Amino acid sequence: KNQVEQSPQSLIILEGKNCTLQCNYTVSPFSNLRWYKQDTGRGPVSLTIMTFSENTKSNGRYTATLDADTKQSSLHITASQLSDSASYICVVSDRGSTLGRLYFGRGTQLTVWP
* Alpha carbons 30 and 49: distance in angstroms, whole number: 13
* Alpha carbons 7 and 47: distance in angstroms, whole number: 18
Pairing of β 86-94 and β 30-38:
antiparallel
Binding residue (CB under 8 A) for another protein from 19, 34, 62, 66: 34
Residue 6 or 65 having the CB closest to another protein: 6
46 forms part of the interface with another protein (CB under 8 A) = yes
Footprint on this chain of another protein (rule: CB under 8 A) = 4, 31-32, 34, 36, 41-46, 49, 51, 89, 93, 95, 98-100, 102, 104-107, 109
